[in-house]
Amino acid sequence: MEDLIKRTAKAISGAKKVVALTGAGISVESGIPPFRGKGGLWEKIDPMEYAHIDAFMKDPKKVWDVLIRETNEFIEKAAPNDAHLGLARLEKMGMLKTIITQNIDGLHQAAGNLDVIEFHGNFAWHYCLDCGEKITAKEIDLSELPPRCHCGGILRPDCVFFGEMILPDHLSRSRHLAETCDLMLVVGTSAIVHPAATMPLIARENNAMVVEINMEATPLTGVVSDFIITGKAGDIFNRIMDELENGV
């Protein structure tokens, strides 16, 4: 493990362009449950069923009740953890170009990262299905579900549900970053949801080094990534940052 931490720190300081791809696992230590993995929502519900646009359109009350309301509550209470803060420090030190995140929790920006692609949108903002007006999560009246806009239209989060398109700008910029980076850090993602999970493949095809940080192996492990550092993202980032900043 120590050897892998050292190798990662060395790779970060030696690389010309580092890109991070993050997933729900990086926010677990901030108290937001992931979809898959231990303690994930998957154990209670099938996210593919609830987080699909067809499910939302068919029964918005149910999706608000089971998924959106609770997620907003978790996000409201959450603060960036050591992994978010480590990535923010890397950006400040000029050692990280961009974060491509699948998360909708806004914690990378809260940690101080300026260049973040929110691949799946965010839950900070919601909009009306009828008139398109935007409203922040905090302003929503949840006394009746689904919550409604003043025009009577149903509100939905400004996210990308399963079955919806990634914003073309986000997709093309992410692809370009994956093609041109020489190191991709893949943190806390099960690497199952595409096209986000394609980014490490593109990086690899273009000869970038790919390092995973995760509690468990993923479909990338041993195939696409050079190696995986197994453990909690916060602990691992503390050790990488220690190595980079103090050489200890």
Q: Which of residues 120-139 bind ligand NAD (CB under 6 A)?
A: 120
Q: What's the closest the beta carbon of residue 204 comes to ligand NAD, in angstroms?
A: 17
214 close to 24: Cβ distance less than 8 angstroms: no
What x-and-dash track marks residues 176-215 binding ligand NAD by CB under 6 A? ------------xxx-xx-------------------xxx
Whole-angstrom Cα distance, residue 9 to residue 99? 17
Burial of residue 162 (number of CB atoms within 10 Å: 0-12, 13-18, 19+): middle
128 close to 155: Cβ distance less than 8 angstroms: yes
46 scored as a contact of ligand NAD (CB under 6 A): no
Stretch that binds ligand NAD, among 24-32, 58-66, 92-100, 124-132 (CB under 6 A): 24-32
Measured between alpha carbons, how far apart are the two ends of the chain, in Å? 14
Q: What's the closest the beta carbon of residue 125 comes to Zn ion, in angstroms?
A: 14
What's the chain's Rg over C-alpha atoms?
Answer: 18
Q: What's the closest the beta carbon of residue 51 comes to ligand NAD, in angstroms?
A: 7
What is the SS3 assignment for 170?
Answer: helix
Write down the catalytic residue from 120, 126, 170, 176: 120
What angle, rounded to 10 degrees, do the helices at 2-14 and 233-246 form?
60
233 scored as a contact of ligand NAD (CB under 6 A): yes
112 close to 151: Cβ distance less than 8 angstroms: no
Residue type, 196: A
Tell me, yes or no, if 120 is annotated catalytic.
yes
What b-and-e string marks burial along 48-63, b requiring 16 or more CB atoms within 10 Å of the CB? eebbbeebbeeebeeb
Task: Report how many residues bind ligand NAD under the rule CB under 6 A.
Answer: 29
Query: What residue 128 binds from ligand NAD, Zn ion, none (CB within 5 to 8 A, per partner kind)?
Result: Zn ion
Q: Which of residues 113-152 bind Zn ion (CB under 5 A)?
A: 128, 130-131, 133, 149, 151
Q: What's the closest the beta carbon of residue 151 comes to Zn ion, in angstroms?
A: 3
Q: Which is nearer to Zn ion, 12 or 149 (CB)?
A: 149
**Interface residue with ligand NAD, options 98, 103, 174, 225 (CB under 6 A):** 103
Q: Which is nearer to ligand NAD, 149 or 189 (CB)?
A: 189
35 scored as a contact of ligand NAD (CB under 6 A): yes
136 close to 125: Cβ distance less than 8 angstroms: yes
81 close to 30: Cβ distance less than 8 angstroms: yes
Interacting residues with Zn ion (CB under 5 A)? 128, 130-131, 133, 149, 151, 153
Positions annotated as catalytic residues are: 120
